[in-house]
Amino acid sequence: MNDKPYLSVILPAYDEEARIISSLERRHEYLEKQNYSYEVLIVNDGSTDKTKELVLEKIKDWPRFKLIDNKVNRGKGRVVKQGMLAARGKWRLFMDVDESVTLNEIERLWPYTQDFEIIIGSRYTKGGKVTKNQPLIRRVISRGGNLLIQILVAWGIKDTQCGFKMFSGHAAKEIFPLQTMERWSFDMELVAIAKKHGYKIKEVPVIWEEQAGSRLRAVKTAIRSLRDVFVIWWRKITGKYNKK
């Protein structure tokens, strides 16, 4: 398959044997109905279950689906970066296997591709919808943390952490090599890098639903993210995100 796809979809996956098959089937069904070329890159983050085997069996007759297999777990940020830089699409979307935001929400993003190179899904901008609320502690941490993120590294962006972000190929090639965060804080780092390099970011409201089985531990993650906000801020002001 030598033709350059219009859309690349990057799916980071870690121990997803319970839902990976149904998730891939829904994406395949949706993408096959579209009038543009595509590829789907499933990036296995050192899964300890049967994720790899299930994916390989499922996609064996789907030439536009490809598995990138890592033997060691390095974190979501690391494998998203790996997938985005391995992708060939004119547009590159990363999203979660659990489909908190479903793939058809990309239709809300397409109208902005003429004027923006980075278009991100948002739960908190006007028109965004959370159909099933997170537990109160996670909502408090999320909103409070986002305010700090805006002040220090991503002014004007209401939701840096929604895992539904699309980059032009050009923007991806410039931004992702500068990414350093390997785990949950990589989203806000990407936004900080993009802003530093003058990219305008369009936040688009999406429908988002909390999914069962999340591995995110609210308090522990909040403490780590708070530290990372200051790390990103420091790297930003000291030139660590300058072009290499």
Q: 76: domain CATH number?
A: 3.90.550.10
Q: What is the mean pLDDT of the chain?
A: 89
Both 119 and 193 in a single domain?
A: yes
Whether residue 40 is found in the same domain as residue 69: yes
Residues 24, 48, single domain; the answer is yes
Q: What are the tokens at 78?
A: 């690391």
Question: Domain limits at 212?
Answer: 101-244
Total domains in the chain come to 2
In this structure, the answer to whether residues 184 and 90 fall within a common structural domain is no
Which residues 6+ apart lie within 8 Å of 11 measured at CB?
23, 27, 40, 41, 42, 43, 83, 94, 95, 96, 97
- Whether residues 76 and 176 fall in one domain: no
Greater confidence (185 vs 215) lies with 185
The pLDDT assigned to 162 comes to 87
Residue 1's pLDDT is what? 47
When pLDDT is cut at 50, 70 and 90, the band that residue 50 belongs to is very high
Alpha helices per DSSP H over the chain: 20-31, 51-59, 76-86, 136-152, 169-175, 186-196, 218-237
Phi-psi region at 61: left, alpha or beta (left = phi > 0; alpha = psi -120 to 50): alpha
Q: Do 75 and 106 lie in a common domain?
A: no
- Residue where a domain stops, chosen among 99, 122, 157: 99
Residues 48 and 31 in one domain: yes
Is the domain of 29 the same as that of 147? Answer: no
Q: Which of 99, 114, 149 is the last residue of a domain?
A: 99
Are 93 and 178 part of one and the same domain? Answer: no
Lowest mean pLDDT: which of 40-54, 142-156, 229-243? 142-156
Average pLDDT of the residues in 169-190 = 94
Cα-Cα end-to-end distance for the chain: 31
Do 124 and 235 lie in a common domain?
A: yes
Which of residues 41, 65, 99 is at a domain's end?
99
Are residues 210 and 124 located together in one domain of the fold?
yes
Nearest to 186 by CA among 146, 233, 138, 232: 232
Of 4-8, 99-103, 134-138, 210-214, the least confident: 134-138
Is there a single domain that holds both residue 34 and residue 115?
no
Q: What is the pTM of this model?
A: 0.89
**What is the model's pLDDT at position 140?**
47
Q: Is the pLDDT of residue 189 over 60?
A: yes
